[in-house]
A and B are shown apart, each in its own frame.
Chain A
Amino acid sequence: MIETARPIAHFLAFTAMLRRAGFAVAPEQTIAWLAAIELLGPAEVNDVRRAAHATLAPPPERFAEFDALFDAHFLGALHPAETSPPSDEAPLQAAVEGAGGLEPIFGEETRESGASATPAERLSARRFEATEDDTLRRFTRALPARVPRRRGYRWRAARGGPGTDARRMFRDAMRNAGEFVKLRRRRRRLRQRRIVVFVDISGSMKERTQSHLAFAHALTRAAAAVEVFTIGTRLTRITRTLRRRNRAQALATASLLVADWDGGTRLGDALNAFLAIPRFSALARGAALVVLSDGLERGDPAAMGEAVARFSRVAWRTVWLTPLAGDPGFAPRTAGLSAARPFLDVLGDGGSLASICAQVLNLANARAA
């Protein structure tokens, strides 16, 4: 067995601690860190900390947590709240966040206007039951052929096409003593457009959230570029969780991740929060946006209209599916939805799983209404 010198053992214990807390630390990063400490000369604990930041590369959103662990380990300070997550949630949290993502984003600082809009922001965990659904299976099979696409940047050699493939032609010509024998063609590759789904999980949609999330899971599994967010009083990204194959597991993890089940609705605020984070708003660019919501907004309807207007300018298509549209005599009466109406490409029926699936399959044909 290899004896580790005591001081090194102390550093190694820290990386082990990081891994337990769900940080991804590779052996080569540990080696780089030790080399860095040697370089800087561990005269000051802040040098060790900076070296740790540089080499172990914690994601920026988790800096505070990282530093708390660092302090606990090297300075003996204890922040029980940050160092030990609640034991029953710990393995799941590690599974989600260890993959490198941070999921809940919006809602830490509840804004005054929002607080008044949601008299009862109920934070509750909720269980899902996985229902095997024929509709979803058919949807998954049909999607690959009908997913919306755009022309990509890259050219690809093809039998016919608008461009000539100079590289291949010259290459061929060199084999034939400089004679061009055949005209080679190339065309642009098609790439899938990103589909961004917002699932309303507020109290008024309570009956449907389960099937909506099941739908989001099927979509995430079937198409390459999909992003799923839940909106209610907060905005939570659940894409990474939904990528798991097993639907029951994925939905169970998602239900732990989302803190605002069946609460009030502040769609406008949540959508604006999405747009305010450059990392997310970049996801909406050129994408097909699908909102599954009844549009019952308890916050400021003007804010919601403004948010949808901004979305419509960035996204390729903006589609709003509301369960209320199942009724033939439907007209958008809620203040929020009327404000958003002029900017939507499609305001469609989201009453049943089948109609949602049909709408998404028709995205590629959807025209501005």
Chain B
Amino acid sequence: MVRRTIVGISSPRELEEALRAAYYLADEGLSTAAYLALALGKPLLLEGAPGVGKTEAAKAIAGVLGRTLLRLQCYEGIDAAAALYEWNFPRQMLALRQQGDSAEHVDIYRDEFLIERPMLACLRRPEDTVLLIDEIDRSDHEFEAFLLEFLSDFQISIPERGAIRAHERPVVILTSNRTRELHEALRRRCVYHWIEYPSPEREMRIIMMRASGVAERAARAVVAAVGRLRREPLAKLPGISEAVEWAQAATLLNQQGARWPDAFRRSLGVVLKDEDDLVHIAPRIDAILQEAQV
């Protein structure tokens, strides 16, 4: 069951390089966890604060493997019809009506009447898909229990059709914002990685890579200011994507003639998206920007 080499990648370091080529800068912990998940054929569970790049990591991994990413966004009340499959009732009905009284028998449980949802699609084509189960912490406990079954056997049963099983272990990535504790049994089945906010130096490289038009000085200032903001007691801490957008927004304003500290101040809404947070930070924003040497 252990596969040492996956699409020519046979160590965490090589995976890290491949991810970088897909414009994702992974740290050693993440590349190790991802490599182990692929090699051991286990699902990869990524946890971290919102905006640290969990979903991006999944996209990058799918890119490296050259597979399509099937994304299943979880929400409270998600059910089998959204996650697994649904029958196309109107088409079944038409087929039955069309058949009419002719003796010919129509099987209304054929593939063409089945609407695939991400989990079924992944089971049927495990060799060219990556299943991303996003924000699993938003779903209910019932769905989590169902997922447990799915992740251990990679099999689902459709009453009218019987069991469908994957012919090889699919690549599954789960993400969670940790708004609630996941079930211990689910964590146990997965390879786990907690994504931290990146180090200033790595975050700067991410900004430079993602936003090509941003000057190095601006990127450095954004990283320093965002790092400072993350130490404040805010309702929503700025993530990496916010940092990238802030750098882009300020650069844009600057090109249109705004001076630097002012460009950052005016584009603050890109980073802080909560009225309470803005009010909390407003008296100190000048000091923070000055400290960041904008």
Residues of A whose CB lies within 8 Å of any CB of B are 24, 26, 28-29, 32, 35-36, 38-40, 47, 50-51, 53-55, 57, 60, 63, 99-101, 152-154, 166-167, 170-171, 173-174, 177-178, 272-273, 275-276, 278-279, 281-283, 310
Known contacts A177-B96, A279-B180, A282-B179; A35 and B40 CB within 8 A of each other: yes
Known contacts A39-B36, A54-B191, A178-B97; A154 and B79 CB within 8 A of each other: yes
Chain A residue at minimum C-beta to C-beta distance from B178? A279
Known contacts A53-B33, A154-B79; A100 and B184 CB within 8 A of each other: yes
Chain A residues with CB below 8 A from B33, complex form: 50, 53-54
Q: How large is the interface on B (under 10, 10 to 19, 20 to 34, 35 or more residues)?
A: 35 or more
Residue from A57, A99, A167, A283 with most neighbouring chain B CB atoms (10 Å): A57
- Closest A-B pairs by Cβ, 3 of them: A153-B77, A57-B192, A170-B89
Chain B residues with CB below 8 A from A26, complex form: 188
Chain B residue at minimum C-beta to C-beta distance from A314? B235
Known contacts A153-B77, A279-B179; A36 and B234 CB within 8 A of each other: no
Known contacts A174-B93, A278-B49, A278-B50; A36 and B179 CB within 8 A of each other: no
Beta-carbon contact of B36 and A36 below 8 Å: yes
Beta-carbon contact of B93 and A173 below 8 Å: yes
Residues of B whose CB lies within 8 Å of any CB of A are 2, 4, 11-12, 28-29, 32-33, 35-37, 39-40, 42, 45, 47, 49-50, 75-77, 79, 81, 87, 89-90, 92-93, 96-97, 108, 177-181, 184, 187-194, 233-237, 276
- Give 4 A-B pairs besides A24-B188, A39-B4, A278-B177 with Cβ atoms closer than 8 angstroms: A39-B35, A53-B193, A153-B77, A276-B235
8 Å CB contact of A178 from B39, B96, B187, B190: B96
Chain A residues with CB below 8 A from B45, complex form: 57
Chain B residue at minimum C-beta to C-beta distance from A60? B194
Beta-carbon contact of B192 and A39 below 8 Å: no
CB proximity of B185 to chain A, nearest CB, Å: 8
CB proximity of B32 to chain A, nearest CB, Å: 4
Compute how far the CA of A282 lies from the CA of B49 in the bound complex, rounded to whole angstroms: 13
8 Å CB contact of A167 from B12, B89, B181: B89
Beta-carbon contact of B92 and A170 below 8 Å: yes
